[in-house]
Amino acid sequence: MKATVIRAFGGTDVFETAELPKPEVKPGHVVVKVAASSVNTIDMMIRDMGEALPFHPPLPGVLGMDFAGTVEAVGDGVTEYSVGDEVYGCAGGLGDLQGSLAEYMLADVDLIAHKPANISMREAAALPLVGITAYEGLIRAGITADQKVLVHGGAGGVGHVALQLARHFGAEVYATGAAGEQTDLISQLGATAIDFKSESVADYVEKHTSGAGFDVIFDTVGGANLNNSIEAAKLNGQITTTLAMHEQDLTMVHMKGLSLHVVFMLLPMIYNVGRAEHGKILKAMAKIVEAGELKPVLDASEFTLEQASQAHDRLASGQAMGKVVVNI
């Protein structure tokens, strides 16, 4: 099969097209003919940091975690999937799990689900990693109907899914973004847009919550922005973040009685623990998509398997609006 591999770590000039053996099916797995794969920030981190990450793939490695495609072969013990089924998931691209930047990949059935019927392969490939992250983060924060939810980075990969899922759960949703395309997208997706550059945290907390603060905050920006989340949270509020790799003063977390949740959705893949939970979330999201309450946003650019490096460059540029997808 044709695949795009990296033979070294660091930069986008490490990609090259290669011929690799087509994976063989094994118990509890399916072989998928990949139609599309999306690029995530973690893909670029693995590409650049390599051996500094304990879950880096051996070289030459095939990156790509998200995919959508068609089942080509079914392993022993698999009863839920048949040859020809359209599926999607996040099941490779780290450790010894071959990634999705290839014509075929082997996927653990616990990490996949049937593709939503009403969206394209490209759209389905854009959803798994960001969707599982958003879903897990909201559930762990105990989201309920009628809460006021703030999503930081509402036009980003995780953010634009989180705000749609929060609306699905019945919340009143607000999201931060830069004025222009980002705030326009946030509004189009049904949330109240907040221009974080022109409005202070104190201003928008007063404006939208009468100074009480938000019930749930989903912080997809992380780092120093966690201080804004802490400031914007109500007493005994909930904060979920996807980026907590920094030193943080927790004094105000204590003084406001906040609960802080850190979501690192790759853990089941890395440690092969609790993988079935990802399959359950993908199944739940498929129903939400088919109900018309969740739709991934795709960047206007399109790339082929041979253009994986350009796809990585597009995401790194910060100019992409929506998920960057590679056609396989």
Q: What is the 3-state secondary structure (H, E, C) of the chain?
A: CEEEEECCCCCHHHEEEEECCCCCCCCCEEEEEEEEEEECHHHHHHHHHHHHCCCCCCCCECCCCEEEEEEEEECCCCCCCCCCCEEEEECCCECCECCCCECEEEEEHHHEEECCCCCCHHHHHCCHHHHHHHHHHHHHCCCCCCCEEEEECCCCHHHHHHHHHHHHCCCEEEEEECCCHHHHHHHHCCCEEEECCCCCHHHHHHHHHCCCCEEEEEECCCHHHHHHHHHHEEEEEEEEECCCCCCCCCHHHHHCCCEEEECCCCHHHHHCCCHHHHHHHHHHHHHHHHCCCCCCCECCCCEEHHHHHHHHHHHHCCCCCCEEEEEC
Render pLDDT for 210-232 as a digit per residue (tens, 0 to 9): 999 999 999 999 889 999 999 99
Identity (one letter) of the amino acid at 269? Answer: M
How far CA 126 is from CA of 26, 38, 171, 316, in Å, comes to: 26, 5, 24, 16
Residue 92 is predicted with a pLDDT of 96
Bridge partner list, 316: none
Question: What are phi and psi for residue 159, nearest 5 degrees?
Answer: -60, -45
pTM score: 0.96
Structural domain boundaries of the chain?
2-127+287-327, 130-262
Instruction: Evaluate whether the domain defined by 130-262 bears CATH number 3.40.50.720.
Output: yes
Rounded Cα–Cα distance for residues 226 and 219 (Å): 7
Residue 318 is predicted with a pLDDT of 84
Q: Which fold has domain 2-127+287-327?
A: Quinone Oxidoreductase; Chain A, domain 1 (3.90.180)
Q: Is 219 exposed, middle or buried (0-12, 13-18, 19+ CB in 10 A)?
A: buried
Residue 319 is predicted with a pLDDT of 83
Residue 189 is predicted with a pLDDT of 97
Residue 11 is predicted with a pLDDT of 74
Residue 10 is predicted with a pLDDT of 85
Residues of the chain with pLDDT under 70: none
